[in-house]
Amino acid sequence: MRYMYLVSAVEDGQPPPERLMEEMDKLAKQELAAGRMIAQGGLYPTAMGGARIELRRGKVKVIDGPFAESKEVLGGYAIFDFATREEAIASAIQFMELHAKYAEGWEGVCEMRAMFEDVDDGCAATEGAAKVNATA
Amino acid sequence: MRYMFLTSGAETGAIPPQRMIDEIELLTEREMAAGRMIARGGLMPTAMGSAHIESRRGKLKLTDGPFAEAKEVLGGFAIFEFATREEAIASLESFMELHRQYWPEWEGVCEMRPMFGFGASAAASEAAPG
State yes or no: pLDDT of A119 exceeds 80: no
Burial string for B94-115 (b: 16+ CB within 10 Å, else e) reads ebbebbeebbeebbbbbbbbbb
B38 with A58: Cβ contact below 8 A: no
Measured between CB atoms, which of B49, B109, B129 is closest to A54?
B109
Return the sign of the alpha-carbon dihedral for residues B65, B69, B74, B75.
positive
> What's the start-to-end Cα distance of chain A, in Å?
28
pLDDT of residue A124: 66
Is B53 exposed, middle or buried (CB count within 10 Å of its CB: 0-12, 13-18, 19+)?
buried
Triad B110, B113, A43: Cα angle to 5°: 135
A18-27, A121-130, B40-49, range with the lowest pLDDT? A121-130
pLDDT, tens only, B1-51: 999 999 999 999 899 999 999 999 999 999 999 999 999 999 999 999 999
CB contact A27 to B (< 8 Å): no
Could you tell me which CATH class the domain B2-117 is placed in?
alpha beta
The residues with which B9 forms a beta bridge, in sequence order, are: B73, B108
Global ipTM: 0.86
Domain span at residue A75 reads 2-135
Question: Could you tell me the CATH number of the domain that includes residue A124?
Answer: 3.30.70.1060
Q: Count how many domains chain A has.
A: 1
Alpha helices in chain B (DSSP H): 18-33, 85-102
pLDDT, tens only, B41-52: 999 999 999 999
Q: Which residues contact A71 (CB under 8 A, 6 or more apart)?
A: A10
Each domain of chain B, given as residue ranges in start order, spans 2-117
Confidence at A126, pLDDT banded by 50, 70, 90: low
A107 with B55: Cβ contact below 8 A: yes
**Which residues of chain A lie closer than 8 angstroms to B74, CB-CB?**
6, 111, 113
**Mean pLDDT value of segment A58-80:** 92
State yes or no: pLDDT of B86 exceeds 70: yes
Gap from B16 CA to chain A (nearest CA, Å)? 15
**Mean pLDDT value of segment B75-90:** 95
Residue of B nearest to A102 (CA): B58
CB contact A21 to B (< 8 Å): no
